Structure 1
Amino acid sequence: MVWAVVALLALDSIVSTVLLLYSSKSAYLANGFPLFYLTLSLLSSTFQSIFDNDFQLTFSQHQKPKMLNFLLSLVLDADMAVQTSYTALKCMGSSMAFGLLLGTPLYGIRSVVCLVFPSLLLTVFCVSFMQLIAIRFFISIVRYIVMEPITFNMPLPYQIHSPTSEQMRTINRVVEARDPLLKYFAFFDLRRVALTDSARRKEVFSLSQPGGHARNWATLSTACVNVIKQVQLHLDEQSGRLFGGSIAVDNVGGSASGDASDLSDPLKIDREMLLMPVQARRQVYTSPVYDRHRKAVLEAPKRARPQTAWDKCVAKVSKVLSDEKYVVSPYDANLVILAIESLSMLIVYSYDEDRYGVVQKSLEPIIGQMLELIKSIDTYFRSRAAAAYSDAMDTTVRNMDVALFTAMDKIHVKFGPQLFKSLNLSPEQFRQIRSMCRSA
């Protein structure tokens, strides 16, 4: 169904553009090959918008404005216009390249000559830009109208012997679903519960019968912790690759060490030498490999050339046009951020609303897992400093780092240092908390 709607949208755009071009009196559009380029640009921009905007749920506002204000904010969004312009340039370049490959056998040298017409280039850019901005508006409006009202029921407080399909569609089950989109919906709804829905928060903190067990809180918190732990293990693996060896995590505190036994790999030695203390770098080694290290590492740094406005513009364009992969995918990063925000706000509101103390009984593994992820992020960036990777790959990791710092600071402000002292945390984890929390 989704692809049918997309196909109809693309077909409508192509037909409208064809009618517009044939009704115009422009001389250079009298032949067939400029129309061929415009058709390619429409197809390129349509598929670019589909695969670029893969319906990732990125919600940054807790209180949504009214519909009129929302549409006005879309129109006045300068960042969206700039990003869409860069993407339209990328689509225009791809359509021109495909036009040269496919148009030369069909139209000959005329397909190359028409590329020097500024009016054609401007038309192709405008068509791609309008197609991309229309689809981005469409996705934003769909998120606001369709995805916002999606909620999941909380489980009943008593056990049902033979539950129906409707009774099984609860948030406790959906947060553990295998379908990625359903899992996104569930975690976004869980964050809504943690932030604004006090009635459903009471159900999270309630005890189920028979037995008086905190099944709701245990299931939801375990699902959030599992999501955080999965990304933490992935970051440990990436750090091990940057170090040049495997990472071994011994205990809950964790200790990462790279395998430096193979001295035949100069790249591996270079990365590990850059992570050594300054005094260790200045030692004189008898090995030719280490002697080369000493000369390379202690070389006088060159003064960096001041960055001009043109350099900044070129860097931004290169960043947008690059096809680099993220260290942590946007899907996983957004899921972790939703889990962190949900856990932190539920812990904060439990100070006044948790009548049975179900949250404070399980705080130690939750806080410990958050600190483990912070340590893994710190280890990754330490090893990342010695590797030649672009900063664009680390955007999702930085977003997770900011969410973790904000969550820990909110918990510390609400409960104070007495909460962390009551937990069985290591001295290293206490130092982490003091360095993270502004109120510590």
Structure 2
Amino acid sequence: MENLQTMKWFYLFYFLHSNWLCGFFTNNIDVAREGVAVDSVFGLLSVTLFLNAFTLGTLSRFVFQMGLSIFETFQTEALTLEVKSTQEAASPMAMTAAIEATSCPLLQHLAFLDFSELGRRGADRRAPAFSLSQPGGHPHTFNQLAASSLGQITSLTQHLETALAPPSDNNNSPPVTTNKPDFTGLRDLTGGAPPRPAAAPKRSEVAVLLDRLRGWLERRPLLGALLTEWPDSRPAAALADGRPALWVVSGLSALGVASLTEDRYGVAQRHLGPLLRALLELAAVLERVRRLAGCAGRGGGGAPVPRLASGLRAATATALFRLTATFGPHLRSLGLSDKELARLEPYRLYTEG
């Protein structure tokens, strides 16, 4: 299916450039040129052309995906980082420092992956996350982990909300009219010419022509299909960087559940309210993405939303189920509003979904 969706670009390239390519081969290699012209409509409707393009495209895509999977399997190794705050460990291999290493995306991703594994490891591995700094007695480690993790969830939610917002059409907005002062007949005190009002900035003629050209192309049946943005393409682009958020949801929920029996100082409970609030917002926006993907699929077009959206919905729902089941009797003490508590009630009663 992915190959069929990308074949339109092959046909466009074939229609524009195949004539001189065929001429190059026939002039330099002893190959006879037969059949209809390749840059004609009948040339594009050739069954042989379609079968060759589909077979070679599928094969090349399979080889590329297989090579990418092998590279990811053998060249990427999960790291086991120190669960210490940056105040206690200056090493860049500390989890808190690696999570904030925006200059090294690979290290940052591996740190989030290791963070998601904290819930599946033993209590000894999680113990430093719930500890207090000495001297001082401050929960620096968990505060830094929670701040970076909640930032990932909030950032993804905001990007998805921006992608789901309808695009603003600036071309249809009414022109802004301004009352220009009339300086006719006035002279300045030195006897010079009257001052001229500042001219309003004008759009470049090239930009206006490009907008008109794009509008004309979008009204053409074939070219419009190539230039029109798919309904779910913007959410799919926003989800492209959502893998750390999936790891964060799993890691934070696991730490929250484990804190009930392992957190002796209560350093994690103060973050449960913001965590539940962030998870509810993410679940709501992911549901909108799912509905948009369903509408795009029923409409007969549109690229499918990546499978990461399904994984994020499942991870978010699992996190909400686990947290509400663990802290159900104490949800009202977490500073949540009545509306948020009502949205958590289906998860507490296992009726959501």
Alignment TM class, shorter chain as reference: 0.5 to 0.7
- Which of 359, 365, 370 is the equivalent residue of 2:274? 365
CA displacement 1:32-59 (0-9 Å, x = unmatched): xxxxxxxxxxxxxxxxxxxxxxxxxxxx
1:353 is matched with: 262
- Which of 100, 103, 106 is the equivalent residue of 1:176? 100
Equivalent residue runs for 1:265-304 within 5 Å: none
1:186 is matched with: 111
Could you state the TM-score of these two structures normalised by the residue count of structure 1?
0.52
RMSD over equivalenced CA pairs, Å: 4.2
Q: How many residues align?
A: 275
- Which of 58, 61, 78 is the equivalent residue of 1:132? 61
Contact 2:328–2:348 at 8 Å: present in 1 too? no
SS in 2 for 1:327: helix
Equivalent residue runs for 1:38-437 within 5 Å: 86-90=1-5, 92-107=7-22, 110=34, 112=38, 121-155=50-84, 159=88, 163=90, 167-179=91-103, 180-196=105-121, 198-237=123-162, 241=166, 325-327=233-235, 329-375=238-284, 399-413=311-325, 415-437=326-348
CA displacement 1:243-268 (0-9 Å, x = unmatched): x89xxxxxxxxxxxxxxxxxx9xxxx
The amino acid across from 1:338 in the alignment is: W
Q: 1:181 to 1:125 in 2, by over 3 A?
A: same
Structure 1 residue 399, shift from structure 2 partner: 4.9
SS in 1 for 2:149: helix
The amino acid across from 1:347 in the alignment is: G
SS in 2 for 1:224: helix
Structure 1 residue 101, shift from structure 2 partner: 2.1
Structure 1 residue 377, shift from structure 2 partner: 5.4
Q: Distance in 2 between matches of 1:218 and 1:130?
A: 49
CA displacement 1:249-304 (0-9 Å, x = unmatched): xxxxxxxxxxxxxxx9xxxxxxxxxxxxxxxxxxxxxxxxxxxxxxxxxxxxxxxx
- Aligned identity (percent) is 24
Contact 1:412–1:439 at 8 Å: present in 2 too? no
Q: Distance in 2 between matches of 1:406 and 1:231?
A: 18
The amino acid across from 1:325 in the alignment is: S
CA displacement 1:180-238 (0-9 Å, x = unmatched): 44332221121122223544222222223222222221111111111122233344545
Contact 2:79–2:114 at 8 Å: present in 1 too? yes
Q: Distance in 2 between matches of 1:404 and 1:426?
A: 20
Structure 1 residue 432, shift from structure 2 partner: 0.6
The amino acid across from 1:98 in the alignment is: F
Contact 2:232–2:305 at 8 Å: present in 1 too? no
Q: 1:230 to 1:116 in 2, by over 3 A?
A: closer
Could you state the TM-score of these two structures normalised by the residue count of structure 2?
0.63
Q: Distance in 1 between matches of 2:141 and 2:272?
A: 15
Q: Distance in 2 between matches of 1:430 and 1:90?
A: 44
CA displacement 1:48-76 (0-9 Å, x = unmatched): xxxxxxxxxxxxxxxxxxxxxxxxxxxxx
Q: Distance in 1 between matches of 2:81 and 2:350?
A: 36
1:307 is matched with: none
Q: Distance in 2 between matches of 1:134 and 1:420?
A: 51
Q: Distance in 1 between matches of 2:232 and 2:270?
A: 43
Q: 1:171 to 1:126 in 2, by over 3 A?
A: same
Rg (Cα) greater in structure: 2
